[in-house]
Structure 1
Amino acid sequence: MKLTGDQTYIKRMNKSLVLDTIIAHAPISRADISAKLGLNKATVSSLVAEWLDERLVLETGLGASSGGRKPVMLLYNAQAGYAVGVDLGVNYISAALTDLSGVVVARERQRLRDAEPGAVLERVVGLVRALTAQAPASPYGVVGVGVGVPGIVDGDGVVLTAPNFGWRDVPLRAMLEDAAGLPACIENEANAGAVGEQRYGIGRDASDAVYISAGVGIGTGLIVGRDLYRGASGFSGELGHMTIQADQGLPCGCGSSGCWEMYASEKALLHRLAPHPEREDLESVLRLADEGDAAAADALSDIGRYLGIGVATILNAFNPEMVIVGNRLALARAYVEQPLLDAVERRSLRQHRRRARIEFASLGLDSAALGAASLAISRFLAAAKAGEQA
């Protein structure tokens, strides 16, 4: 019987639900999928057979019997393909090769000194190729690349503005797809970090969370109802540019002044300690603080206090379950955490902070790269569910 349009849609939706159920509950039997989804066993068996043919599902050993024959269990084939995630920082590029469940297979990290778009593209493509060469053999190979960028990105993968790079209207997705020959997803770096921690890190159990990417600048990614919140125009999360010093504030690259990132970022830390050649980056400041340098320790404590001022505002405004501090300043946790918590205690409303958890990113410096990779994986799986993959 030829399927009508409605029947085709329903079948595609049910097939998608079957794969999602296997991913979420594997190892799982066909009978258990049928029970969870309310689909008859023949329909489930037919849809599972298609996923087996497409090699995104595997059969494994026998499960426990419920009175009859032991069922064959099903697994998601996370090694059916791989993805590359890239965290494009202001002064570094970090990249990871993952399987389709986000397990890291290989990593690469480089310093970045030239922010000209062509130079950055060349470095990114070089990392993508280096990681692609390390991907194990698989049915689908490397399915795509995701890139987190410290700027505002539109739905076409154009970086509309990246103040710390001096970029405006850079069509990064088109440039990368043309140069690397892979499907690409371009996302704001803080959004990518939020997705990474929500899917693979400390935020897995939180329905509503705010991820703070505290590096050279500050960005935030908002998770609402377990999904990334983008706002009406798709550009939410620029809380690094909320004003915390209204009068005589420090000028910011965004064109305003008194922005949070001018007081609570790595850039703010180094500005406070300048001019001292031995304090040229966060690592050198941490080393000095560990050696007993009072100026370095005090500056880190002050950064923590300003981070806490912003976190208190976030708690008061959004009332999230969790606030996650990530990116490079998370390396300074030993120095910034207590001043941050003290500022939150003084400045946030009691009802808002009572149930909120303030955590540091469990993925370390991989949050944005893994989040970017997961976006490429999601795009691949969406195409597979729509029948667009070979």
Structure 2
Amino acid sequence: MIKIGNQQMLRDINKSTLLHTIFHHGPISRIDLSRKTKLSPTTVSILMEEIIREGIVREIGTTGSGVGRKMTLLNIDSQGGYIVGVDLASSPAHCVLLNLNGELVATQGLKPIIGEEQLRSGLPESITAFIDKQNIPLDLIKRIGISIPGRLDDIQSTILASTYLKVRNFPLQSCLEEALSIPALLINDLDAAGFAERFSGAAKGDHTTIFIMIDYGTGAGLVLNDQIYHGSRGTAGRIQAFDPFCTPTLSTKLKAEYPEAFDGMTAEETIRSFIDLALMGTEPFREQADRIITDMADYCGKALQLLNPQKMILGGWITDNGLFFDKLVTAIQKRENSLVATTPVVASHWKKYGAAMGAATFGLHEIFKRKTVQ
């Protein structure tokens, strides 16, 4: 029995190695797969036939010219499966659909999903309706990734606490898998947004990054040597110093102090108008905006000194106005005061779709990651 188990484990590891290699290096021939993976041509041939039958990979033609033997090329079948990503942190909730190449197929807002009852029944219903609208069979959905505004347990299956969702100790992963019969993955919303930037956004290819979001909430997602860093108690990334700058808090403060300037505006409109006035040199808005830049830059500059990442990615309202963002970046890099080279500070690529894209690409990563012996 142990021998059979070991053989199956080795088979699974070899299949994951082949899928990982095709995903990152396809189109590729069986011969080149054997060379890159160090697996024998016979093993590659046998496992590839199984993978092709599963519909994840397809043959797309041949390579080579002249009288020599032509080699059949293999690539991921983009329509062989799909991944759903849901961002429960945005208002309203947001849903995206990716194909197996990580390309965005569809996106849609969802009705508010707050509380245990909505998470238990409303969320599966909303996901099912979204999939049905795309005319995709449910069995082609390979993973569902959920971005959570709150703390998760060590195995990322239970929401330990979420003020926004109004739940504690809620086993969302098992609820979704029981309702939909599809593997579900949970990920913190900031980690998700940061993962999207690393996978296909502003930090693609980087292994050590800081992602900071200032929107309806604030916080950071930290990646150190390709590993998401959660901290000893799972609370790494909290930035209490930025709480006064989150959208609802800052807009409420501005409306209270200058009702005549921002009367009738939404929270987002208030902040956009405030920044416009500040950049035109209108007082006291210019002075307030300069103080905000100084406070943010001081914190970010110290974070860069401490962690020395490859890149800092910023998201939220602070990136909406190019002139304001440029001033902030200049101030951050000045306070970093690097003795070697300044760290690139860039705006997020995925913006409001970041957390949903991250949840989906996290699911894609799970499909194509290389398995190892546990």
Query: The TM-score by the shorter chain falls in which range?
Result: 0.7 to 0.9
- Find the residue that maps to 2:222 and give its secondary structure: strand
- One-letter code of the match for 1:343? A
Q: CA contact under 8 A between 1:305 and 1:342: conserved in structure 2? A: no
Describe the shift of the 1:66–1:210 C-alpha distance in structure 2 as closer, same or farther (beyond 3 A): farther
Number of matched pairs: 362
Indicate the residue corresponding to 1:377 in structure 2: 364
Matching of residue 282 in structure 1 with residue 272 in structure 2? no
Q: CA contact under 8 A between 1:146 and 1:376: conserved in structure 2? A: yes
Q: CA contact under 8 A between 2:207 and 2:225: conserved in structure 1? A: yes
Q: CA contact under 8 A between 2:211 and 2:313: conserved in structure 1? A: yes
Describe the shift of the 1:268–1:346 C-alpha distance in structure 2 as closer, same or farther (beyond 3 A): farther
Indicate the residue corresponding to 2:338 in structure 1: 350
Indicate the residue corresponding to 1:310 in structure 2: 299
Deviations 1:21-62 (A, max 9, x none): 111111100111111122222221112111111111100111
1:47-62 alignment, distance < 5 Å = 47-62=47-62
Q: CA contact under 8 A between 1:321 and 1:355: conserved in structure 2? A: no
Describe the shift of the 1:139–1:39 C-alpha distance in structure 2 as closer, same or farther (beyond 3 A): farther
Aligned with residue 364 of structure 1, among 351, 366, 370 = 351
1:1-390 alignment, distance < 5 Å = 4-65=4-65, 68-89=68-89, 91-110=91-110, 112=112, 115-119=114-118, 124-137=123-136, 140-154=139-153, 155-233=155-233, 235-240=234-239, 259-275=240-256, 276=259, 277-287=263-273, 289-290=275-276, 294=282, 302-326=291-315, 328-334=316-322, 336-351=324-339, 354-380=341-367
Identity rate of aligned residues, in percent? 24
Q: Offset at 1:230?
A: 3.1
Describe the shift of the 1:194–1:284 C-alpha distance in structure 2 as closer, same or farther (beyond 3 A): same
Describe the shift of the 1:181–1:17 C-alpha distance in structure 2 as closer, same or farther (beyond 3 A): closer
Give the alignment's TM-score, normalised by structure 1.
Answer: 0.81
In the alignment, the residues of structure 1 paired with residue 301 and residue 363 of structure 2 have an alpha-carbon distance, to the nearest angstrom, of 33
Describe the shift of the 1:208–1:10 C-alpha distance in structure 2 as closer, same or farther (beyond 3 A): same
In the alignment, the residues of structure 1 paired with residue 167 and residue 329 of structure 2 have an alpha-carbon distance, to the nearest angstrom, of 35
Structure 1 unmatched ranges of 5 or more? 241-258
In the alignment, the residues of structure 1 paired with residue 207 and residue 368 of structure 2 have an alpha-carbon distance, to the nearest angstrom, of 23
Q: Offset at 1:183?
A: 2.9
Deviations 1:273-308 (A, max 9, x none): 133443431244315655769466765554444332
In the alignment, the residues of structure 1 paired with residue 333 and residue 356 of structure 2 have an alpha-carbon distance, to the nearest angstrom, of 32
- One-letter code of the match for 1:267? P
Deviations 1:46-100 (A, max 9, x none): 1211111111110011112597211110001232111211112263311111112
- Find the residue that maps to 1:18 and give its secondary structure: helix
In the alignment, the residues of structure 2 paired with residue 378 and residue 4 of structure 1 have an alpha-carbon distance, to the nearest angstrom, of 28
Q: Offset at 1:109?
A: 2.0
RMSD: 3.1
Describe the shift of the 1:306–1:125 C-alpha distance in structure 2 as closer, same or farther (beyond 3 A): farther
In the alignment, the residues of structure 2 paired with residue 176 and residue 5 of structure 1 have an alpha-carbon distance, to the nearest angstrom, of 29
Describe the shift of the 1:267–1:237 C-alpha distance in structure 2 as closer, same or farther (beyond 3 A): farther
Q: CA contact under 8 A between 1:90 and 1:165: conserved in structure 2? A: no
Q: CA contact under 8 A between 1:322 and 1:359: conserved in structure 2? A: yes
In the alignment, the residues of structure 2 paired with residue 280 and residue 237 of structure 1 have an alpha-carbon distance, to the nearest angstrom, of 31
In the alignment, the residues of structure 2 paired with residue 357 and residue 148 of structure 1 have an alpha-carbon distance, to the nearest angstrom, of 27
- One-letter code of the match for 1:20? H
Describe the shift of the 1:381–1:69 C-alpha distance in structure 2 as closer, same or farther (beyond 3 A): same
In the alignment, the residues of structure 1 paired with residue 7 and residue 122 of structure 2 have an alpha-carbon distance, to the nearest angstrom, of 47
- One-letter code of the match for 2:362? L
Describe the shift of the 1:29–1:17 C-alpha distance in structure 2 as closer, same or farther (beyond 3 A): same
Describe the shift of the 1:119–1:273 C-alpha distance in structure 2 as closer, same or farther (beyond 3 A): farther
Give the alignment's TM-score, normalised by structure 2.
Answer: 0.84
- One-letter code of the match for 1:308? A
Describe the shift of the 1:264–1:213 C-alpha distance in structure 2 as closer, same or farther (beyond 3 A): same
Structure 2 unmatched ranges of 5 or more? none
